Structure 1
Amino acid sequence: MVLGLIPARFASTRLPGKPLVDLGGRSMIRRVVEQARQANLARVVVATDDARIQQHVQEFGGEAVLTRPDHPSGTDRLWEAFQQLGSPADVHCIVNIQGDEPFIHPGQINALADLFADAATAPDIATLVKPVLTDEELFSPHLPKVVLNQLGHAMYFSRHPLPYQRGRVPEEWLAHHRYLRHLGLYAYKPTVLEQLTRLPVSPLESAESLEQLRWLEAGFRIQCAETELEAFGIDTPEDAERAKERLRNEK
Structure 2
Amino acid sequence: FVKAVLADDSAPSSRALYFSRQPVPHGSVPDRGGKTDRYFGHIGIYAYRRAALARFVALPATPIEHRESLEQLRALAAGFHIEAVQVNDMPLSVDTPADLSEAEATLQNN
TM-score (norm 2): 0.79
Match of 1:249 in 2: 109
Q: Deviations along 1:66-105, whole A, 9 cap, x unmatched? A: xxxxxxxxxxxxxxxxxxxxxxxxxxxxxxxxxxxxxxxx
1:227 aligns with 2:60: no
Mark the CA change 1:227 to 1:166 in structure 2 (over 3 Å): closer, same or farther.
Answer: closer
Match of 1:63 in 2: none
> Structure 2 unaligned runs (5+)?
none
Match of 2:15 in 1: 153
Match of 1:182 in 2: 42
Mark the CA change 1:190 to 1:229 in structure 2 (over 3 Å): closer, same or farther.
Answer: farther
Match of 1:212 in 2: 72
Could you tell me which of 180, 194, 211 is aligned with 2:54?
A: 194
Cα distance, 1:165 vs structure 2:
2.5
* Alpha carbons 2:29, 2:36 under 8 Å: kept: no
Cα distance, 1:219 vs structure 2:
1.1
Paired-residue identity, %: 40
User: Any idea what SS the aligned residue of 1:152 has?
Assistant: strand
**Computing the radius of gyration over CA atoms, which structure comes out larger, 1 or 2?**
1
Mark the CA change 1:194 to 1:241 in structure 2 (over 3 Å): closer, same or farther.
Answer: same
* Alpha carbons 2:4, 2:24 under 8 Å: kept: yes
* Alpha carbons 2:41, 2:90 under 8 Å: kept: no
> Structure 1 unaligned runs (5+)?
1-142, 169-174
Cα distance, 1:212 vs structure 2:
0.4
Q: Distance in 2 between matches of 1:192 and 1:181?
A: 25
Q: How does 1:83-102 map to 2 (within 5 A)?
A: none
Which structure shows the bigger proportion of residues in strand conformation? 1
Mark the CA change 1:197 to 1:248 in structure 2 (over 3 Å): closer, same or farther.
Answer: same
Number of residue pairs aligned between Structure 1 and Structure 2? 102
Cα distance, 1:166 vs structure 2:
6.9
Which structure shows the bigger proportion of residues in helix conformation? 1
Cα distance, 1:238 vs structure 2:
2.9
Q: Deviations along 1:24-43, whole A, 9 cap, x unmatched? A: xxxxxxxxxxxxxxxxxxxx
Q: Distance in 2 between matches of 1:179 and 1:234?
A: 20
TM-score (norm 1): 0.37
Alpha-carbon RMSD across the aligned residues, in angstroms, is 2.1
Q: Which amino acid aligns with 2:16?
A: A
